[in-house]
């Protein structure tokens, strides 16, 4: 295994507390026509004129002579901006599945209309990137060092010389914070953030958060384990560092915590378990990483997995370790977990 791949697995474990990005694609619908057209006219980006300034989560003040028009972004960031009426020219990160369909992290974007610079970890076509004449590169950050997610370490210097970069932190903060930051970024790029569509989406998110809070309060005995599956390892994530799990815990959800020793070994993110030890932590509900880089519950053949009480009870749902940072996409994450807790049988 290469160092780059090992790093990817480590950061995936960061998010390995489960996967809910897709959460069954149960998106808060705002109308099929709006989705096909990239949002209603009221949420289309305003005419782009400059100059443009944005202070990102590295504390870097990014300045350009005009509002960026040729934007290149990590796929999940591009998907969030799309929900706010901002379309990008290029993307990097999981964008298309092996059968050519949109990856779960691409959200509602038409992936046939964007230039994909790299679909997997370590891939980033610098020549194609330069050819887009980028005005800005935008990604998330999963550490406190300002590392831009999916920008290859070995080629980052060449990449970052070609255009200003913007980083939005998803490290050790609760979900509402990066949602606010992405909305602020979209507004700076011309989105009408006071439109009826976006205002309603935010209200639905707040209602979903309150529903989850009430569900957790009513069922404090329900233990929720966040997991992620690979061929040889089952990852159990702790409630710190990940934006979704930190928020779930703040809302009162009883998150199963790995041992402190194991968390320390992973930098605070997760614990590695062999499939023989997958029953180490009792759980009533399991939320599983839904990214295409992980093995999905229906495809897990391990007998030890199938014997877990939560699995036998059908109390396994998706988790999105890398949520698309729009209120529209994060609402079903909260609603689905609330519903699972409301309906769960105590089996652990």
The per-residue pLDDT for range 89-138, each reduced to its tens digit, is 999 999 999 999 999 999 999 999 999 999 999 999 999 999 999 999 99
pTM for this prediction: 0.86
Model pLDDT, residue 200? 98
18 pLDDT tier (thresholds 50, 70, 90): very low
The per-residue pLDDT for range 200-214, each reduced to its tens digit, is 999 999 999 999 999
H or E element in which residue 223 lies = strand 223-229
Residue 22: is its pLDDT beyond 50? no
The answer to whether 290 and 23 are in contact (CB under 8 A) is yes
- Which residues are 271's β-sheet partners? 236
d(CA 11, CA 267): 10
The per-residue pLDDT for range 267-316, each reduced to its tens digit, is 999 999 999 999 999 999 999 999 999 999 999 999 999 999 999 999 99
d(CA 319, CA 243): 12
Model pLDDT, residue 48? 55
3 pLDDT tier (thresholds 50, 70, 90): very low
The per-residue pLDDT for range 155-207, each reduced to its tens digit, is 999 999 999 999 999 999 999 999 999 999 999 999 999 999 999 999 999 99
The per-residue pLDDT for range 87-96, each reduced to its tens digit, is 999 999 999 9
Long-range contacts of 55-61 (CB under 8 A, 24+ apart): 56/166, 56/167, 56/168, 57/141, 57/167, 57/168, 57/169, 57/181, 58/141, 58/146, 58/167, 60/165, 60/166, 60/167
Q: By three-state DSSP, how is residue 202 classified? A: helix
Which residue has 């005009």 as its token pair? 66
């Amino acid at each position: 295994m290469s160092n780059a791949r090992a790093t990817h697995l480590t950061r995936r474990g960061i998010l390995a507390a489960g996967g809910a990005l897709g959460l069954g694609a149960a998106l808060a619908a705002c109308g099929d026509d709006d989705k096909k057209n990239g949002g209603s006219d009221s949420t289309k980006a305003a005419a782009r004129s400059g100059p443009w300034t944005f202070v990102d989560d590295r504390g870097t003040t990014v300045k350009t002579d005009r509002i960026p028009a040729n934007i290149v972004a990590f796929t999940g960031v591009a998907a969030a901006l799309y929900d706010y009426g901002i379309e990008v020219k290029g993307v990097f990160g999981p964008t298309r599945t092996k059968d050519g369909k949109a990856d779960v992290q691409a959200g509602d974007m038409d992936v046939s209309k964007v230039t994909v610079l790299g679909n997997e970890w370590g891939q980033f076509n610098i020549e194609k990137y330069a050819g887009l004449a980028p005005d800005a590169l935008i990604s998330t950050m999963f550490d406190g060092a300002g590392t831009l997610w999916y920008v290859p370490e070995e080629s980052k210097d060449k990449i970052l010389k070609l255009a200003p970069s913007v980083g939005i932190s998803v490290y050790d903060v609760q979900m509402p914070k990066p949602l606010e930051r992405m909305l602020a970024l979209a507004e700076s790029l011309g989105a009408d953030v006071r439109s009826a569509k976006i205002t309603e989406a935010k209200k639905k998110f707040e209602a979903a958060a309150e529903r989850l809070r009430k569900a957790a309060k009513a069922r404090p005995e329900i233990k929720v384990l966040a997991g992620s599956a690979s061929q040889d390892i089952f990852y159990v994530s702790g409630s710190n560092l990940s934006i979704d799990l930190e928020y779930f815990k703040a809302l009162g959800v009883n998150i199963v915590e790995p041992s402190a020793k194991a968390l320390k070994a992973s930098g605070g993110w997760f614990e590695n378990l062999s499939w023989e030890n997958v029953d180490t932590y009792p759980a009533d509900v399991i939320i599983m990483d839904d990214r295409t880089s992980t093995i999905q519950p229906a495809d897990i053949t391990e007998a030890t997995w199938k014997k877990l009480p939560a699995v036998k009870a059908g109390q396994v749902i998706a988790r999105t370790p890398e949520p698309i940072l729009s209120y529209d996409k994060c609402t079903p994450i909260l609603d689905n977990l609330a519903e699972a807790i409301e309906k769960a049988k105590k089996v652990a």
